[in-house]
Amino acid sequence: MNPRHRASHAQMRRNARRMRRYGVEPMALITEDLEFAPLVIASIARAVWRYRSELAPLTIATSDLVAGVILRRWFPEWWPTVIIATVIVAGAVAIWGRWVNLPRPVERGYATVTTAFAGAWLTLAAYLGPFTAPLPAVLGIGTLVLAVPWWAHRRRRARVRVERTLAAWPDIAQAVGLAGSRVQSAIVDLWGYRFRLGLGLGQTVEDALSAVPRLESALGTTRGGVRVQPVASKKANRADVRVIETDPHADAITWPGPSITSITQPAKLGLFEDGTPVRVPLLRRHGLFAGMSGAGKSGGVNVLLGDLTACEDVILWAVDLKRGMELMPWASCIDRLATTPQEAESLLADAVVILDGRADDLTRRGERVWEPSPDRPALIIIVDEYAELASEAPRAIDYADSIARRGRAPAVNLIAATQRPSKDAMGKSAVRSQMDVRLCFRVREPRDGDLILGQGMVKAGWHPHKLDAPGKFLISSPEHDIPRRARTCLLDDEGVQATAERHAEHRPSLDAVSLAALDDAASRAERHADASIDEELTSPRHARQIAPKRGDSVLWTVLRDAPENGITVDELITATGMSRPTIYRRLAQLENDGRVRQVSRGRWRARLDPNPDPA
């Protein structure tokens, strides 16, 4: 070889790397006369390999032509076999094409037509000869016509673009600090593509997470368009990388309706970016919905209530210290709604009483857990703006803490919504630590993500501060331990009203065990002079409204004089001074006697009767 043309060792390595990147193995030709020919051959081979997808119709047509020549020359009697094989293959593609990466009917139809055309032409070529007119013209025109859909197909073009991008991965890995890593597999989907990354020696998923901004630049995506997460098999030297080119959650997702009819079923809270539903069991679990104002917490709570109100084995209690602004539209489906700090404290205190009563009943039965049913429903307490509860009703936090620690087995669960679940906002650490279902909507700072999801979660790839639209969230639960972005459905005010009206007719009543526990607690309170009948009756706002007399006659008088739309239990407590369990018990008795009726859910009124005195 001429020394003038001898390449340096570094140049040879660089040329070999470039050729391997495009699928051509390096080769050396030792000759003195043909120095330009190897470069031309290598360039042509590289171009053919690079554009192999675009040249696929020409490759198939050429293969069909060669097969026709061979059949006509040596096996002309095989033409019946060819046409039978064509019919079988075309039919198989049409029927079972979805199993060979042809999910859409139009794609299976195209593959069927292409197979039928190639087989029919090959049959005629074997019978008549491939160069018999007009077979060459038919092959050329048919190839051109059938090539147009192939060239225009979006998924094919996307796959080719991804293959060419990932072919340059050695250089990309070197640039982003993941030298030695390799792409093991790749899949193109409707929203972008994803690939399995085999990490280099000593590299971890955390290294890939720290390289995300550099990956976004190297892959040419938008900011926030790359997701890195551990693989489901939990191998430390593997990572899944997802590149989002079109945001699947750019538009709001309309709520399709309730996804469950029993609390024993996993509720659907939204959709992941790949379209799979976010399903999580809620029975015997406490939940936390957290995120900054305007991030979509209320929408997530509405979706949750839409599912829970469809369950006939769930009693719903709620605390809304915004005076009912958020949860009042669900009042017809909520068995008890507290809108003041005093009512909230009383509600949570009664929940602890029910918890204890159910625990005693389970002990007597020799059972470990409370199995929900329409006759023995679970009790779920929704607390909106939990931080307000901690600041305005400190004693209520003690009850919430007790529910969080002991409420799982008796099926008394707590769902809290707050903007920032700090120690001051949550009151006691036990409440937050017991929340094993956590939905984190957008937060302002990364440290808020650790506060909601747990210490170290942001470093592990959970980045709620990068969520860019209301309703988007990350979920952490025993079933969801990998950071995957999701978006909750949109349930607007009209949808809330229609859903509440539809589900209000099928809501269950509190079970006998819980009612007996409340009744016993009220009796014990009335026997002690120093015990308050109801904490909210002693508040300054209600003190002047308490009636001086108590008893069934006062209760009947108030019910008889109630307005047309009825009177609530809270108003009955204020007017009579009776405890809530006692009023519930007397209302049930009067309703069974036909003396009172429930005008709407939670509102009561006496029936007209010529002799109205129930005594």
Q: Name the residue with higher pLDDT: 424 or 382.
A: 382
Instruction: Domain ranges for the chain, please list them.
Output: 51-151, 177-244, 266-510, 550-606
Mean predicted lDDT score pLDDT of the chain: 83
Q: What is the model's pLDDT at position 5?
A: 44
Q: How confident is the model at residue 546 (pLDDT cuts 50, 70, 90)?
A: very low
pLDDT of residue 221 exceeding 80: yes
pLDDT at 426: 61
Of 125 and 27, more confident: 125
Annotated binding residues for ATP, as ranges?
A: 291-298
Average confidence (pLDDT) over 270-291: 91
pLDDT greater than 80 at residue 349: yes
Q: pLDDT at position 313, please?
A: 94
The pLDDT score that the predictor gives to residue 425 is 63
Q: Please calculate the CA angle 27-28-33 and round it to the nearest 5 degrees.
A: 135
Lowest mean pLDDT among 207-221, 297-311, 371-385: 207-221
pLDDT above 50 for 613: no
What residue type is 314 in one-letter code? V
| pLDDT band, residue 487 (cuts 50/70/90) | very high
Which option is the CATH number for 550-606: 1.10.10.10, 3.40.50.720, 3.40.50.300, 1.10.3210.10?
1.10.10.10
Which amino acid makes up residue 600? S
The residues near 28 (Cβ < 8 Å, ≥ 6 apart) are none
Confidence (pLDDT) at 442: 93
- Is residue 612 very low, low, confident or very high in pLDDT (cuts 50, 70, 90)? very low
Q: What is the pLDDT of residue 539?
A: 45
Query: What pLDDT score was predicted for residue 611?
Result: 47
What confidence tier does 306 reach under pLDDT thresholds 50, 70, 90? very high
CB 338 within 8 A of CB 331: no
Q: Of 453, 449, 487, nearest to 469 (Cα)?
A: 487
Alpha-carbon torsion 584, 586, 588, 591, what sign? negative
For the ranges 59-63, 85-89, 519-523, the lowest mean pLDDT is seen at 519-523
How far apart, in whole angstroms, are the C-alpha atoms of residue 556 and residue 558?
5
Three-state DSSP at 371 gives coil
The pLDDT of residue 505 is above 90: no
Contact 369, 409 (CB under 8 A): yes
Annotated binding site: 291-298
In this predicted model, which residue has the larger pLDDT, 308 or 605? 308
pLDDT of residue 42: 78
More confident call, 176 vs 192: 176
Confidence tier at 584 by pLDDT (50, 70, 90): confident
- What sign does the CA torsion over 279, 282, 285, 291 have? positive
- pLDDT attached to residue 98: 81
Q: What is the pLDDT of residues 394-441, one digit of tens each?
A: 888 889 989 999 999 999 999 999 887 766 666 555 677 888 899 999
Tokens of 236: 């430390």
> Distance (Å, rounded) from C-alpha 152 to C-alpha 167?
22
pLDDT reported for residue 530:
38
Which pLDDT does position 2 carry in this prediction?
A: 44
Write down the pLDDT at residue 527.
Answer: 63
pLDDT of residue 575: 80
Kindly report, residue by residue over 64-88, the tens digit of the pLDDT. 999 999 998 899 899 999 999 999 9
Q: What's the CATH superfamily of 266-510? A: P-loop containing nucleotide triphosphate hydrolases (3.40.50.300)
Grade residue 164 by pLDDT with cuts at 50, 70 and 90: confident
Residue type for position 399: Y
What confidence score (pLDDT) does residue 450 get? 86
Mean pLDDT, residues 264-291: 92
Query: How many Cα atoms occupy the beta-carbon half-sphere of 52 within 13 Å?
Result: 10
CA proximity to 595, closest of 612, 577, 579: 612
Question: Residue 609: what pLDDT?
Answer: 52
Beta strands in 426-577, from DSSP E residues, in sequence order = 435-441, 472-476, 485-487, 489-490, 567-568
Percent of the chain with pLDDT over 70: 86
- Is it true that the peptide bond before 410 is cis, omega within 30 degrees of 0? no
Phi, psi of 344 (to 5 degrees): -65, -45
DSSP symbols for 138-182: HHHHHHHHHHHHHHH-HHHHHHHHHHHHHHTHHHHHHHHT-TT-E
**Is 609 within 8 Å of 571 (Cβ atoms)?**
no
Residue 595 tokens, joined:
């003396």
pLDDT band at 610 (very low <50, low <70, confident <90, very high): very low
pLDDT confidence band for 529 (50 / 70 / 90)? very low
Q: What is the pLDDT of residue 439?
A: 94
In this prediction, residues 315-338 reach a mean pLDDT of 90
